[in-house]
Amino acid sequence: MKHLKFFVFLCILTFTVSCGQQKKYVQYKVKEGETLRVIAKKLDMKTRDLLRLNPDIGRKPEVNTVIIVPSKQLKNRDVNKDEVIVSNTLNLNDKESKAALIAEKEKQKELLILELEKEFKLHEVKKGDTFYGLTRFYNVTQEDLIALNPELIEGLKLSQIIKIMPLEASVGEESFLYRDEIEAGIALKIAILLPFRAIELDTLSGEEIFENSRLANIVTDLYFGAMMAIDSLREQGVEIDVDVFDTGRNSTEINKILSENNLEENDAVIGPLYSEEVQFLADKLNVPIVFPIYSPKQVAFTGNKIVKTAPNKQLFKDKLFAYMQDTFMDGNIIVVGDGKVDSQNDATKIREILQSNDSINSFHIIMAADGYIKTEKFTEVLQPNMKNTVVMATNDNIIVASAINSLISLPEETTATVYAFDQISVFNQIDNLKLAQLGFTFISDVYVKEDSFEANAFNLKYKAKNGRLPSSDATKGFDVAYDILMRLASGNDLDTTFKEGISYRLESKFDYTDNTIKIPENKGLFILKYNVDLTLTRIE
Q: Which residues pair with 502 in a beta bridge?
A: 177
Q: Whose CA is closest to 321, among 344, 296, 346, 356?
A: 346
Rounded Cα distance between 439 and 428, Å, is 15
Tell whether the model's pLDDT for residue 304 goes beyond 70: yes
Tell whether the model's pLDDT for residue 434 goes beyond 50: yes
Rounded Cα distance between 291 and 477, Å, is 11
Q: Which residues pair with 162 in a beta bridge?
A: 123
Quick: pLDDT tens for 263-299: 999 999 999 999 999 999 999 999 999 999 999 999 9
Task: Using a pLDDT cut of 70, give the percent of the chain over it.
Answer: 81
pTM: 0.73
Q: Which residue has the higher pLDDT, 142 or 310?
A: 310
Determine the average pLDDT of the residues in 513-531.
89
Determine the average pLDDT of the residues in 18-35.
64
To which H or E segment does residue 104 belong?
Answer: helix 95-116
The segment with the largest mean pLDDT, out of 203-212, 247-256, 497-506, is: 497-506
Tell whether the model's pLDDT for residue 310 goes beyond 90: yes
Q: Which residues pair with 365 in a beta bridge?
A: 335
- Cβ pair 310, 419 in contact under 8 A: no
Rounded Cα distance between 417 and 419, Å, is 7
Determine the average pLDDT of the residues in 428-440.
86
Q: pLDDT grade, residue 147 (50/70/90)?
A: confident
Task: Read off φ and ψ for residue 506, nearest 5 degrees.
Answer: -60, -50
Determine the average pLDDT of the residues in 152-161.
84
What is residue 2's predicted lDDT score, i.e. its pLDDT? 37
- Of how many residues is the chain composed? 540
The architecture CATH gives domain 315-444: 3-Layer(aba) Sandwich (3.40)
- CATH superfamily of the 117-173 domain: LysM domain (3.10.350.10)
What is residue 98's predicted lDDT score, i.e. its pLDDT? 60
Indicate the CATH number for domain 24-102: 3.10.350.10
Rounded Cα distance between 120 and 102, Å, is 25
Task: Write out the CATH class of domain 187-310+451-517.
Answer: alpha beta
Q: Which residue has the higher pLDDT, 247 or 207?
A: 247
Q: pLDDT grade, residue 88 (50/70/90)?
A: very low
Rounded Cα distance between 29 and 26, Å, is 10
Rounded Cα distance between 307 and 287, Å, is 10
Quick: pLDDT tens for 438-451: 999 999 999 987 66
Task: Give residue limits of the domains in the chain.
Answer: 24-102, 117-173, 187-310+451-517, 315-444
Quick: pLDDT tens for 311-354: 999 999 999 999 988 888 888 899 998 888 998 999 899 988 88
Q: What is the mean pLDDT of the chain?
A: 82
- Cβ pair 337, 347 in contact under 8 A: yes
Q: pLDDT grade, residue 4 (50/70/90)?
A: very low
Quick: pLDDT tens for 451-468: 677 888 899 999 999 999
What is residue 221's predicted lDDT score, i.e. its pLDDT? 94
CA angle 497, 500, 504 (to 5 degrees): 85
> Do the domains 187-310+451-517 and 315-444 sit in the same CATH topology, yes or no?
yes
Helical spans, DSSP H, in 382-537: 397-408, 425-428, 432-437, 453-466, 472-488, 494-499
